[in-house]
Structure 1
Amino acid sequence: MELLIFLIIGALAGFAAGLFGVGGGTIIVPLLFIVFTQMGYDADTIMHLALGTSLATIIVTSISSLMAHNKKGGVMWPVFKNLAPGLALGCFLGAGIAGQISGLYLQLIVGVFLLWVAYRMFTAGKRRTHMSDASHTPVLLPSKPKQLAAGGVIGVASAIFGIGGGSLTVPYLTRYNVVMQKAVGTSAACGLPIAIAGALGFMFFGMQQQVDAPNTIGFVHIYAFLGIASMSFFTAKVGAKVAHMLSPPLLKKCFSVLLFVVGLCFLYKGLF
């Protein structure tokens, strides 16, 4: 039954990864939180396990989503090269920071963050996307050092939130007039260094704290990782295909609604 649950989570997360470029973490983290709670794990480590396992599975979903978006020319590789070093370093350090935060505070932090991003995307995203498509506003990204620094900030936040960085990378790129499809594709590529560094970080810092839970390496649950990763690899390709069939304004609306629902879920679980 547990394996079936992990496979279902993987199917949903993979589709979200391909569709929104978020690595599936916004689906995986709240669902794993519920599952680990039902499994009777220590309340103060459940959120950390959900975050660490989420990042580990994003390694697989990012590869699948990246391949699908790259085939359609949706990845801006020069931008990826500028962001990647900061993303990796920031996410590894962010895992250490997350390990020092209580599970309850992590829930509230993630909930508030997702609601904020959803609001920003819903109110500003449609106007910016329309401008980029209709008037061909040129893409004016910051300098390489600034992109590197932005990558570091996104990396730290991604570890704390257990996501592939899409919730920050996509708004960051669209702010500089990158159309939604390319922002999603590049975000999918950025999810790979984030996931690798984050998973290693949660394993390392989790082992330092000697997590009392079966089938885990640090803050990464092995069975959950295998079940989710095996299914999400295939469904991420489906999500990526759908992403290129939808209009940018519609895609942004769907993205913001998803983040809003998940954010409310975290706040409800943390406060009640």
Structure 2
Amino acid sequence: MDIGLIIALLALGAFVGFAAGLLGVGGGMIQVPFMTYILATQGFAPEYAVHVAIATSLATIMFTSLSSVRAHHKRGAVLWPVVALLAPGILIGSWVGPWIGAQMNSAALAGFFAIFVALSATQMLIDKKPAASRELPKAPGMFAAGGAIGTLAGLVGAGGGFVSVPFMTWCNVKIHNAVATSAALGFPIALAGTLSNVVQGWNAPGLPAGAFGFVYLPALAVISAASVITAPLGAKTAHSLPVKTLKKVFALMLYALAAYMAYHALK
């Protein structure tokens, strides 16, 4: 890789890591569009640029998640019993998600996510209090929720925070705990999704040197190196913000993601 590409990927990794710590998102929905553009400028085949960007994004989330969750765990914010209940469904969904994405019309899929994410953002922005009696579902419901979160995250190469944080806050989980727990869920999402993308891309013709299936190892190394440094800074910032401010920041991030997905659905 030339120095210009390395600098671009380092900057991307630094921003993605901070976002992961701050909002409990893996940063994939930020990383994928930028990385797709970067890969296109480097002469990657157009039919593989998005696949490689999504797969590499999921792989970097493994490292970002570990760095972020360590910082949140030190503050006692991660709800590990919730992680244990959601993780089995997440592992299955994250493996299935990339496969489903290959079977669907990309414009329809992008439009679906735009609507879904915008509704999630609106729910958080208006700060409507959930019913006091509402709580997280029992084990079967958590398994189903984990499967849905994993499938959605695997489809778009994200850490799942854009789904899991609104879900948990809707069930009366405090926003700081929801963000921290979402960061922990990023690892099983990334692990299963990465393995799925490696298998699907294993025999794909024309991939560049350094590709492991659809995962582009040089970009993975550079982005991960930057993101693990900035993720704890994002986590520290999250715990210093009041609840209402953190919810507004998260909602605005979701609106930006919805706008991006709508653009791709309509173009």
- TM score, norm. by length of structure 1: 0.90
Q: Does 1:145 align with 2:148?
A: no
CA gap 1:217/1:107 in 2 versus in 1, 3 angstroms: farther
- Aligned residues: percent identity? 39
Match for residue 128 of structure 2? 127
Match for residue 30 of structure 2? 27
Q: Match of 1:34, as an amino acid?
A: Y
Match for residue 167 of structure 1? 162
1:50 is displaced (CA, Å) by 1.5
1:49 is displaced (CA, Å) by 1.6
Distance 1:271 1:44 in 2: 19
Q: Does 1:260 align with 2:251?
A: no
CA gap 1:102/1:42 in 2 versus in 1, 3 angstroms: farther
Match for residue 4 of structure 1? 7
Q: Does 1:228 align with 2:253?
A: no
Q: Match of 2:88, as an amino acid?
A: P
Q: Match of 1:237, as an amino acid?
A: P
1:137-216 to 2 correspondences below 5 Å:
137=132, 140-210=135-205, 212-216=207-211
CA contact (8 A) 1:3 1:223 kept: no
Q: Does 1:90 align with 2:93?
A: yes
CA contact (8 A) 1:88 1:194 kept: yes
Show CA shifts across 1:149-178 (max 9, x none). 110111111100211110111011111100
Distance 1:223 1:105 in 2: 32
Distance 2:116 2:102 in 1: 18
CA gap 1:213/1:102 in 2 versus in 1, 3 angstroms: farther
Match for residue 235 of structure 2? 240
1:226 is displaced (CA, Å) by 0.8
CA gap 1:142/1:270 in 2 versus in 1, 3 angstroms: closer
Q: Match of 2:141, as an amino acid?
A: K
Q: Match of 1:46, as an amino acid?
A: A
Q: Match of 1:146, as an amino acid?
A: G
- Say which is worse superposed, 216-225 or 13-22, in terms of deviation: 216-225
Show CA shifts across 1:128-147 (max 9, x none). 3xx79xxxx57721111110
Q: Match of 1:8, as an amino acid?
A: A
How much is the aligned-residue C-alpha RMSD, in angstroms? 2.1
Q: Does 1:16 align with 2:19?
A: yes
Distance 1:31 1:106 in 2: 19
Distance 2:92 2:84 in 1: 14
List gaps (5 residues or longer) in structure 1.
none
- Say which is worse superposed, 59-68 or 93-102, in terms of deviation: 93-102
Alignment equivalent of 1:42, drawn from 34, 40, 45? 45
Match for residue 83 of structure 2? 80
Distance 1:98 1:59 in 2: 21
- Say which is worse superposed, 33-42 or 1-10, in terms of deviation: 33-42
Distance 2:106 2:220 in 1: 20
Distance 2:8 2:117 in 1: 24
Distance 2:15 2:200 in 1: 28
List gaps (5 residues or longer) in structure 2.
none
CA contact (8 A) 1:90 1:154 kept: yes
CA gap 1:110/1:216 in 2 versus in 1, 3 angstroms: farther
Distance 2:205 2:116 in 1: 29
CA contact (8 A) 1:139 1:178 kept: no
Show CA shifts across 1:75-98 (max 9, x none). 111111000111011101112222
CA contact (8 A) 1:48 1:98 kept: no
CA gap 1:207/1:76 in 2 versus in 1, 3 angstroms: same
Distance 1:103 1:151 in 2: 23
CA contact (8 A) 1:48 1:99 kept: no
